[in-house]
Amino acid sequence: MSFVGKVWKILVGIKDGLVLLFMLLFFVALFGILSARPNPGEVRDGALLIDLAGVVVEEKSAVDPIAALLSGSAPIEEYRARDIVRALDAAATDDRIKAVVLDLTTFLGGGQVHLTEVGEAMERVRKAKKPVLTYALGYADDHMLLAAHASEVWLDPQGLAVISGPGGSNLYYAGLLEKLSVNARVYRVGDFKSAVEPFSRSSMSDEARQNASGLYGALWEEWQANVKKARPKLALARVTGDPVGWINAAGGDLSKAAVSGGLVDKLGDRAQFGARVAAIAGEDPWSKKPGAFANSELDAFLADVGSPKRGKAIGVVTIAGEIVDGEAGPGVAGGTRIADLLDEALDDDLAALVVRVDSPGGSVTASEEIRRAIQRYRDRKIPVAVSFGNVAASGGYWVAMPGERIFAQPETITGSIGVFAVVPTFENSAARLGVNADGFRTTPLSGQPDFVAGFSPEMDAILQASIGGTYTDFLALVSKARRMPTDKVDAIAGGRVWDGGTARQLGLVDEFGGLPDALAWAAAKAGAKDGDWHPVFLGEDAQNYDSLIRQLVTSNTARAPISQGGDIFALASRRNGNLAAQLTRDAQRLMGTRGIQAYCLECPASVSTQAESARIGGGQVGGLADWLAWLTAP
């Protein structure tokens, strides 16, 4: 009995220990959930602090908790553009907010349309007689699109500010594939559908160069007009036309050159900047840390402001990122997921629907699945408006065809009406290795598609015919929706990509405007009076614990790769991450089984569709790397 009693005591002890452990884990998790949720009670008199430590997107990607916990680091932070705009507009009329501060130290960029909208909201804050200040270790194109609208632009004395403009190099793999004896079989319609050129050419075609010249030229003109209007003191011609002379005139001091060129107003470290903000908005009563000032953070302020719930409900479905088959997303536009959201909302008594598109396209079958789901609203006589963000091209334009009215911005990239597919076969590689394929066939399609022996001429013809048929369907959809003859649509299609201004002239969009304009039009179409309606964003989960996951996995070590090293050499070195990501994406596009694609690969990369490392290079950091190469060239 003595032995049994001891065993029993041990088991009871283990049981009690496990109970205590689970209770501890429960309370830790409960505390984490409560602390991770924004607390409106944290809003106080002072500055609204918007720390853009990541990228500005249309739709935030969901954090995979398993992947995040295993990696030990959180994905790059994402900020919805409309959340920032809503916070800025609320700050303009909130007596508690004395100033707005944008910390751009670890800002990684965003689309031109989104940043223009944020800049316009910053202007509205200034018109309310409230100063807007920005601080950063480095300013580039995306930074300046925001900072130009600030009252004061501060730069760390060890920092830099440069403007590189849109454009850059693509990678072409025809020579590599030839050396590897890989046959990249390309099927496409349209001379301007250059998405397949990286696998069939060693350089950009004349048609692609012509299209890129027009598109990037228009985007660059819009960027310059926006920034020069907001910041007349910026010597843009000098900074972009003779960058070496401009920097040499400042003795090679990049921060002083930034001041002389009018890119920034003042040089100062974080403590000096914070003292300036404290003089405007008040000192932080809870912190004596140098540079502290009274402030309310973005999430808490948004939670305090809340969202309107009055009147009729106008549904908003977001199609952001690459369009793919299945349940993927948010942040990626899974066709089945979005179609299900739309079908479920059919019974929600929505007065109207707005389709918000920020996508370069993707799978034709997924695009058609979404289009059909939107069409079901039109079939029920529910008004449907479409709002284009940064990019609405190829499949992103396909899904817009049920819309009664399409809104876009001058900086919106749209069009790319064309389709393609690329399939690699390895008959030449196999032959080099001494592998031969042979057999008996009853028909020309027996054993096809054969990736080792190669495709038969009949298989090739059928695949190209499928591409041609899909393109014809695309033209027919656009012709019917835009009320244009098919031949006229074909004349502006062929894979061409257009800026929003040109697209409007061509009849591909109806009018300039953002999401608020599309919502207002849809509400009016539904018979709702001004102020007697509110948007309902389909699929948004109010209980989002991404911030909790980030708290669990994010540490100083985890954030270091984003924030450390602010000089031009450190920034340029991160270009390697972008290069690796591009190689990975191109390899997946060649080798992956994707089906027929209505995808705009020639469109500027969207931050919401790239891997984290690619996000670092596509915008400002990539531009800084190009500058480094220029400035150090022999």
Q: Which residues are catalytic, by number? A: 193, 394
Residue 371: how many CB atoms within 10 A of its CB?
A: 20
Cα angle 306, 307, 311; round to 5: 140
Calpha distance 299→546 (Å, rounded) = 13
Q: Can you state the angle between helices 335-345 and 364-379, rounded to 10 degrees?
A: 10
How would DSSP label each residue in 323-375? EESSS--SSSEEHHHHHHHHHHHTTS--SEEEEEEEE-EEEHHHHHHHHHHHH
φ, ψ (nearest 5 deg) of residue 422: -135, 130
Calpha distance 189→397 (Å, rounded) = 17
* Beta strand extents in 539-605 (DSSP E only): 597-599
- Cα→Cα distances 235→146, 156, 224, 227, 266, Å: 17, 20, 11, 11, 16
Interacting residues of 56 by C-beta distance below 8 A, sequence separation 6+: 78, 79, 80, 81, 84, 109, 110, 111, 114, 115, 118, 607
Structure tokens at 9: 């005591």
Structure tokens at 594: 């994707």
Structure tokens at 316: 């908003």
Return the residue matching tokens 């400042």: 250
Return the residue matching tokens 């030990």: 72
Q: What is the chain's alpha carbon radius of gyration, rounded to the nearest angstrom? A: 27
Of 326, 330, 325, residue with least CA distance to 358: 330
How would DSSP label each residue in 493-520? -TT-EEEHHHHHHHTSS-EE--HHHHHH
Structure tokens at 518: 């599309």
Calpha distance 76→612 (Å, rounded) = 6
Per-residue three-class SS string for 606-630: CHHHCCHHHHHHHCHHHHHHHHHHH
Calpha distance 475→478 (Å, rounded) = 5
Calpha distance 317→297 (Å, rounded) = 28
